[in-house]
Amino acid sequence: MSNDPMKPVHPHCVGRYTKALDSIKSLRKDRMAELKAEKEHLLSLSREKAHADKLKDRITNMKSTISTKEVECETSKREFDNMAESNRKFYELFNKFREMYVKVGELEKSKKDTKGTLTELKSKYREVPGILLC
C-alpha cells in the first residue's frame, strides 16, 4: 500500500469504509444512549439509597424512643400502684378517724347529758355527809 494522498481510492473500498464509519457512529450513539440511561438509573438508585438510609436512621431513633417510653411507662405504673396503695391506706385511716370522731362526739354528748342530769339531781336533792348512796 502506498501512502500517497493523491492516489485515487477504489470506489468499492470507499463504500466499505463509509459503512464501517456509519456502523461505528451508530454503535457509539447507541452506547452513549445506554450510558446516559445507566447514569440516570444510577442516580435514581443513589437517591433511593439515601432515602432508605434516612428511613433506617428514623427507625433506629424511633426504636430508641420507644424503649425510653417503655421504661417511663413501667416507672409510671409502679408509681401509680404505690400511690394507689398509699391512697387505700389513707382512706382506711380516714374512716377509722371519722369513726373515732363520731364516737368522741357521742361520748361528749353523753358526758354533757350526764352532767346535766347530775346538776338536776343535785338541785333537787341535798347531799347528806357520811352517807354513801348506791
In tens, the pLDDT along 85-110 reads 999 999 999 999 999 999 999 999 99
d(CA 118, CA 112): 10
pTM exceeding the 0.85 threshold for the entire prediction: no
Up-side HSE of residue 57: CA atoms within 13 Å toward CB? 6
Would you state the cell numbers that stand for residue 103, as one nine-digit string? 364516737
Q: Quick one: pLDDT band at residue 134, thresholds 50, 70, 90?
A: low
Report how far residue 84's alpha carbon sits from residue 78's, in angstroms, rounded to the nearest whole number.
Answer: 10
- Measured CA to CA, the distance from residue 11 to residue 17 in angstroms comes to 10
